Structure 1
């Protein structure tokens, strides 16, 4: 799948050869692409920040159910129903029917089920991470997702690993791993080393799992879901969300935790209404995050999507400090700076790729003009 900058360069190359009407259409296409990337980016950053903070508040106010917290991460899928019911433009209908015919229902259902079950495990790991770690610490550790995704993208999606990208991977890995040497959270007291290890291991494994899931999602878009419409993004988010919600509900009832739901609501420090509102807002926030992240995979690549997610790790600690009185220790600041350095290295590599691609396009155009 082409990266965002490659798609824009492809549009620009076509624009140089077309007439004025074609140029106007291509300019509109580029604007729409940038607008879609901006909207999906906003969904990812906003949903990630709100979902993480609300998850921390859920536990801080006395709630304990991991299954409920995991369920809240995907239960917002019904809000996508209006988008699924909205008819696609006529010029895409034939293409969509052809694609649906080529990709059998069984194959698509298998992809949904596999990705859905995979997400259940990842969501549970992240739920454990949020429970045992402060919001800022959790966010910094989850930044390793980008490093892991660089590896999975290389193996599954043909992403090239340059020295600069490798530098980014190493920096981001050190950025997340440095947190394990901290004995105090700085967020309201001390926690045991065992709890810190559990939170660190769960969040790290969750990051690895999501990195692999994103690369597999990109592979699915390449091999199975080849539609050019955004409706495929909504369908994937809805179906995976529904499957994960069903799996989470099954786990909730199978474990017997549903019996404690009324007690948990009653003992919630800020009241039952606050408990319900927390879960509803959490569900909406994580659904926006899910749509945004899948949308960025669809419109750009899994690695680009994870870059934006990693950017969110620098935003969440700031909001945690503002809203949750989360302190930023020296070690966290050092870890955050390493993460920003790794993020900057990645962006610089894409800047170099952009220059190389532009030079290649100009050279190709010049050679074609010389042949006439």
Structure 2
């Protein structure tokens, strides 16, 4: 009994040490993250973080608004995918108007348009036009909440293309987000009957699903290529290069989409749709106009985040907007 009582005090410190060690380890990790965050914040001026917050705010408000307007267009009698795609890039003059005073205040001159830079703008404009058309098809057959949830898969492609093309790092948080989003997409695919609008066939629903995923993958590629243009050609010189890139890319996309509109005779079709629109011609014009404004603000936000941060952060914010869009769609459209 005496030997047993002598041994008991010896085991007590060991147990106490084993309990405290994990706590110290967690505390050190939290301290390291906090220290790294403070260092990152101090490495940039306050104006950098204000602009980043502004551009991020554009992404989190304008893109959801644009998605809801797309659904509103279809719900009230709109049918043309080309018209909706055209509206997305028809607002490019708004960014051009912002660019002019920016040149004046920063005392800068327009970036010379080399053949290489023009080729990049044309490529990105073409990809953007195709991407908008894919999303227009997706929103024709899917509820806004479902379409936005599927669009979150763009984070996967943003991280992948950012890693392959721009050499962005993929950390553990990005991997976790990719796994969660992929799981969510699979669940939506398996539960396809519960979120379908009346009158939508199996073929149409599957088509909308496929177009949404393809559009998200192309969206991720556009993010990565846009950042590559900043790194390789434009440089991260000043804010005006963000506006320059958006104006030129949106203008190229506008030209490509307008050609599609002409071939499909949809400029005439706009007049027909306006007359048959559920809430009248004025409501139709407002939906088209606000679609143009909100999409341009969203793209401006995305391009600004690419310029100030990275493709991965742009992809993360693009995924964060998903619950905002989904909740708003359930409230306003009573999405299934």
TM-score tier after normalising by the smaller chain length: 0.7 to 0.9
Structure 1 stretches of at least 4 aligned residues deviating more than 6 Å after TM superposition: 5-8, 89-92
The answer as to whether partners of 1:111 and 1:220 remain within 8 angstroms in 2 is: yes
Residue 6 (structure 1) shift: 8.8
Tell me the residue number matched to 1:269: 278
- Measure, in 2, the Cα distance between the counterparts of 1:119 and 1:91: 29
Normalising by the residue count of structure 2, what TM-score does the alignment of the two structures yield?
A: 0.84
Deviations 1:135-191 (A, max 9, x none): 000000000000111111111111223444333222211212321222434465363
Aligned to 1:40: 55
Which structure 2 residues correspond to residues 142-291 of structure 1 after superposition, within 5 A? Answer: 142-186=151-195, 188-189=197-198, 191-291=200-300
For the aligned residue pairs, the C-alpha RMSD in angstroms reads: 2.3
Partners of 2:85 and 2:257 within 8 A in 1? yes
- Cα displacement (A) at 1:220: 0.7
Aligned residue pair count = 302
Rounded Cα–Cα distance in structure 2 between residues aligned with 1:200 and 1:48: 19
The 5 Å alignment of 1:111-126 reads 111-126=120-135
| Residue 100 of structure 2, aligned match among 44, 69, 85 | 85
Change (3 A) 1:289 1:91: closer
State the 1:265 CA deviation: 1.1
Deviates more, 1:163-172 or 1:39-48: 163-172
Residue equivalent to 1:60 = 75
Contact 2:65 2:294 in 1 (8 A): yes
Asked if structure 2 preserves the Cα contact closer than 8 Å seen for 1:48 and 1:285, the reply is yes
1:74 to 86, 89, 114: 89
Displacement of 1:8 in angstroms is: 7.7
Q: CA–CA distance in 2 between the matches of 1:8 and 1:118?
A: 38
Contact kept in structure 2, 1:183 and 1:192, CA below 8 Å: no
Residue 264 (structure 1) shift: 1.1
What secondary structure, in the 3-state scheme, does the structure 2 residue paired with 1:73 have? helix
Change over 3 Å in CA distance of 1:90–1:193 after alignment to 2 = closer
Show CA shifts across 1:284-305 (max 9, x none): 0000001000000000001101
Matched-pair contact (CA < 8 Å) for 2:141–2:205 = yes
The 3 A distance-change label for structure 1 pair 309 and 11 is: closer
In 1: Cα distance, 2:195 partner to 2:313 partner: 32
Residues 54 and 166 (structure 1 numbering): CA distance in 2 closer, same or farther, change over 3 Å? same
Q: Which structure 1 residue ranges, 5 or more long, are not aligned?
A: 14-28, 328-372
Deviations 1:251-280 (A, max 9, x none): 011122333222211111110000000000
Once the two structures are overlaid, the 10-residue window that deviates more, 259-268 or 304-313, is 259-268
User: Which residue in the other structure is 1:310 paired with?
Assistant: 319
Contact 2:156-2:178 within 8 A present in 1 as well: yes
CA distance 1:178–1:298, shift in 2 (3 Å): same
Query: 1:185–1:191: 8 Å Cα contact kept in structure 2?
Result: no
In structure 2, C-alpha distance between the alignment counterparts of 1:244 and 1:203, rounded to whole Å: 19
SS of alignment partner, residue 161 of structure 2: helix
Distance 1:162 1:72 in 2: 37
Q: CA deviation at 1:282?
A: 0.6
Check if 1:31 corresponds to 2:46. Answer: yes
Larger radius of gyration: 2
Q: Given that residues 138 and 207 in structure 2 are in contact (C-alpha distance below 8 angstroms), is that contact kept between their aligned partners in structure 1?
A: yes
Instruction: State the SS of the aligned residue for 2:167.
Output: coil
